[in-house]
Structure 1
Amino acid sequence: MKPNEVQKDSINKKPFKKKKISKVQIHGFNKPTNLFFNIMIAIFAISCVLPFIFVISISLTNEAALATNGYRFWPSEFSTFGYTFLFGEMKEKILQALFVTVTVTVVGTVMNTTATSLYAYAISRSNFPFRRFFTVFCLITMLFSPGMVANYLVMTNLLQLKDTIWALILPMAVSPFNIIVMRTFFKRSVSESIIESARIDGATELRIFLQIVLPLAVPGIATISLFAALGFWNDWFNALLYIQSDSLVPLQYLLIKLQNNIQYLTQNAGAGAQISGGLASIPGESARMAIVVLSTLPIAISYPFFQKYFVKGLTIGGVKE
């Protein structure tokens, strides 16, 4: 090609124009759509909070006002008789049950988080030769359960743990669902190159896990810790199966028994008359709602402290590979 033709060809070419990207293409939605979804999410959030506010209002309402005026979001006549009844008649038992529940929740959450993290980290590494077998084994245990009879026989006959505090901890010490979540989290958040660099420097597998992997996995660990803590705190079925001693009854199971007793006494005038003060001294609906508040308020208060890590860990660990 001659020089004149090269110069002519370069003149004919159009200059490159930078393509503009609209905000709709970046964010995916325009402002009206975002506003619509924000309103929908706000309505959903309010619908989740309103029942709990309703329960608190009933627990602080006088029993006679409830019978006269019905349920309201704002108490027509304030009364703390439901709480004073619980902490007056059942103070020692409630405090003992609360101590058992806190102990089971703390110890069980630590055990669950530790076992889940170690298991998930092992099957997330490509150099582990048995990762496929243990991954399938975890999935099978998550999809298929041996049943209540088999669990009961193992806990009572094989392990001899009936009427011990370990009967409230060990059945939920490992969670297959949490293992799958953490496995995905480790695969996406912990690079193989970082681990290989640590191995070249002479670090052991335990040191790599404690000093490199765990600091990177704080959001995921906070997520499964919250799942485990909720499970241990709300558990009452294991106490129904394995616990007979009053000193080992957890809070949830005690409150369920107390609610059933209140319901029985309020429905049977003869049984209620045997108690000093009769049925008038037994709050019905207010005591039941006070039980609900006592059982859910501690977890509701602790959730905001985990929220930042919980959202990040759930979104990262829940992404499909």
Structure 2
Amino acid sequence: MSANDNDLSVMEEAADWVDRLAELSDAERGDLAVWLNASPEHAAAFAALRHTLRDTALLEAVDRLRSAPVETLAPRRSAVGGWSPAGLIAASLLVMVTGGLLGARLIVHRATPPIELATAVGARADHVLSDASTVRLNADSHASVAYSRSARDIYLRKGDAVFEVAKNPRRPFNVMAGDAKVTAVGTVFEVDKVGDAVEVRVFEGVVRVSQGAASPRLLRQGEWLLLAADRTASRGRLPADSYDAWRGDWLEADSMPLKYVVARLNRYSPQSLVLRDPELGALRVTGRFKLDRPSEALAMISSLLNLKVEKAGGRIYLASPTPTQSGRSPRS
């Protein structure tokens, strides 16, 4: 097989995977991971197509070309007939490769341009990355994906996400949140920028957590670590069903500071939730709350802590009816 024939085959296969990405079963995702890890050219073609498909102007041009015959290669046709966008773009990229405008090796060695992932208030989204890792982005969250040949870097700008990492010891998977860095090879873990802190929870495998000049900490399956803004840290054990609870939009609070509970509920609330007195944020909350029903959760919390709920100016406030609270103490 000639080099051009091989380029054609790889781009055709990549187009097929990209076309079907949103509807892959768990088994098929495993097959995709095997295909991506089989060759650097596979991963490069897949990443190039996914990045190119985010170009609005190019997609509009592809729509105009879908009825035109393309003889360069025969990608999978879309369910509605005609060429799929990924197939047409694969053909265009292949023409550039075989025409000498863009060498295949150049695609392999360059870093993938950053990809921005974001969700609105109340909305979650799953994203399968070019290496078959999955980012499960919580509501009202934002992450930047910056892959290179030697590393897989994610910058959690805001909010919360779970990462299901495809194993590749030669390309560490790093998540940066504030001044904290979480490194994994193949595992399932959560990073949550909540208020002024970063919480890491490990559902499977082991991760290494570093913050500034402090010595890195190893965090194993079933453990959580909370890094506060003042560089203090606390850790503990997760309930056995933590990941299932996360996927079901449940918040399991075990003596959790109220300010962190409110921050998490705000990701789902159409109205901003505010503590009338910042000192209330140190009150401890224990319970199980449905995040996608913030009003119900707030009513339960106000009852538990003897707080009152006030609405004003499009916001919902939690306030204390008396100078002292019912025996609840701030975090020491």
Question: Where is the helix percentage greater, Structure 1 or Structure 2?
Answer: 1
Question: Where is the strand percentage greater, Structure 1 or Structure 2?
Answer: 2
TM range (shorter): under 0.3
Between 1 and 2, higher relative CO (CA 8 Å, sep ≥ 6) is seen in 1
Normalising by the residue count of structure 1, what TM-score does the alignment of the two structures yield?
Answer: 0.24
